[in-house]
Chain A
Amino acid sequence: MDYLLTREQLLARELFREFAEKEVKPLAQKVDEEEYFPTETVKKMAEIGMMGIPFPKEVGGAGGDYLTYIIAVEEIAKYCATTAIIFSAHTSLCCYPIYTWGTEHQKEKYLKPLLRGERLGAFALTEPNAGSDAGNQQTTAKLVGDYYILNGSKIFITNGGKADAFIVFAMTDKSKGTKGISAFIVEKGFEGFKVGKPEIKLGIRGSSTTELIFEDCKVPKENLLGSEGMGFKIALQTLDGGRIGVGAQALGIAEGAIAEVLKYVKERRQFSKPIGSFQGIQWYIADMITKTEAAKLLVYNAALKKDRGVLTSADAAMAKKFASDVAMEVTTQAVQIFGGYGYTKDYPVERMMRDAKITQIYEGTNEVQKMVIASHYIK
């Protein structure tokens, strides 16, 4: 698919591949087994300018495009899905809305250090009773003098325990339903803001997924993102970008599993032959590669459309849904091909299978993606 890429994108991919192999791969097992948050990797990514890829240089970004960023997520996810989502949540879900709806002051104060990777970002929409039904926000924000006072809690927040800046959604006017939701930039140290318990997870175990608690949390009114009532629109549009990121993460996981399989079937011998010489295995591999290639086209298509300003919610939803289903199928098949060894921690495929599962769930479950896709076409 290289014909789709520019010279810059190809050169950047070379960089991401080298970086992923030298810096991400060696830590992947530890990240999983010890629920280890790879702070040093994030720091190195910041050094080479990966934390602000699709943003102009004037605001502190690398001056790249969305597809380049998507390729970066993919290359990182080939080895470590945790590192990929830390990076993707930061870029798609925190930097993007500040860049798109932020004031000059907000960009100067929050976006620049985020894009330079000096600060890490997060996005807080989900609540205990507002998952797929994200419009049912229970967190409230009330303007009192120069501050919005936030009360409520958020769950399953990626980068929750490690982020410095959060995009937080809360109801400013409950009577207006989803049009009463507003978005705020909340800093780690704000009065009344607490990070709750971290989740212990099946996969992406090193990413810090936490609860956030707001108890009369004081947010300066200039930290309102966009205007009052714009929150739900900001959330949905931001999630479109985030979904391409998750699609890229899923794609990378599938590609990583295929690479492991291709190595293994040449080494592993049964019945005096490498198992890759058996047609049964070959047919599995042919399907795995074909589906992954199709997923890649959908993910790249969504990224290219975002770069051209013609992305629809359905494009992003299709990319995310298809790629994550493929990742789950491919990694499950990879474990099967590895047999008993695949079920052990001696090989990375069982981790990839566990990591793949979340891509079908977060940034909107795949069932929600189907709602998004269908509603785009049935009007």
Chain B
Amino acid sequence: MSFRIIVFAKQVPDTTEVKVDQIKGTLIRDGVKSIMNPEDKNALETALQLKDKYGAKVTVITMGPPSAEAILRESYAMGADEAVLITDPIYAGADTWVTSMILARAAQMIGFDLITGRQAIDGDTAQVGIEIAEHLKIPVIAYAVDLKIEGEKVIVTRELDSTYEVISAKLPCLVTCTKELNKPRYMRVGNIFGCFEKPITIINNSILKFDKNEVGLVGSPTKVRRTFTKGPKEQGTIFNGSADEAAEMILSKLKAEKLISQQ
């Protein structure tokens, strides 16, 4: 059987267009365009490049309302081979833990050698990918900037704060991507014509068989206490003087605030 790659993608509001409700502190999603999470496109591009290079079957999976089908059509137009929509009203309100549990079970049913994905721009937690790997008991490598397959192994260069790390892991494995990894390809016009005729596999709870208390909002251990918009920063102090004087001034301030030791 050919190499199988699963890409987890999410439909998100275009946060470059989103405005914040100043009173409730929540995002105003009405009238905002829904898009494929930009970094999931990097994950899909990674998968498509591996497909171009080694040959692979690329399956894009998303969980969400039926309208999330749009990003699956877009995935087909970019070159994905298969599209899966996990949708069930009882999954609504799932936190990262429950989401990852659902996605992991679906991945197990579909089968894979490699999973790619990344954090979404709406919640921005970057937890789901790592948690899926935990549920599946497979290795996970986060923040990949380069990735290649060598036999049964994946060799990943990952980005840390000031250094790079090269790691190899046994397949199957999950890799989360950064936007530096690649430039996602455009859809192909030829793929657009025909992409709405391609099948989308719908997976709901009658297939995944979770107890209804395990999933959705009820099953989610995360409780949101409060959401709020950060206020603007206070005006900083402007100090005019020579570099030496400025350094002296900063030092005395830091000492006064007890942010550095007195010595």
Name A residues whose Cβ lies closer than 8 Å to a Cβ of B: 7-8, 11-12, 14-15, 18-19, 47-50, 53, 57, 61-64, 68
Contacts and interface: CB of A to CB of B under 8 A. Distances in A.
Contact of B190 (A7, A11, A14, A57): A57
Given A11-B74, A11-B77, A62 B193 contact: yes
B167 interface: no
Nearest to A19: B186
Contact of A63 (B73, B77, B194): B194
A49 B196 contact: no
Contact of B189 (A7, A18, A53): A53
Contacts of A49: 188-191
The 5 closest A-B pairs by CB, nearest first: A49-B189, A62-B189, A63-B193, A62-B190, A49-B190
Contact of B193 (A8, A14, A47, A48): A8
Contact of B186 (A48, A57, A61): A48
A8 B77 CA distance: 10
Contacts, number: 49
A15 B194 contact: no
B186 A15 contact: yes
Interface in B63-88: 73-74, 77
B247 interface: no
B56 interface: no
A48 B187 contact: yes
B27 interface: no
B188 A48 contact: yes
18 contacts: A8-B192, A8-B196, A11-B74, A11-B77, A11-B192, A12-B189, A15-B189, A18-B186, A19-B186, A49-B189, A49-B191, A50-B189, A61-B190, A62-B189, A63-B193, A64-B189, A64-B192, A64-B193
Chain B interface residue number, banded: 10 to 19
A7 B196 CA distance: 8
B73 A11 contact: yes
A48 B189 CA distance: 6
Contacts of A61: 190
A262 B11 CA distance: 30
Contacts of B171: none
Nearest to A63: B193
A179 B193 CA distance: 39
Given A15-B189, A61-B190, A62-B189, 15 more contacts: A8-B193, A8-B195, A8-B196, A11-B74, A11-B77, A12-B192, A14-B187, A15-B187, A18-B186, A19-B186, A47-B186, A49-B189, A57-B190, A62-B188, A64-B190
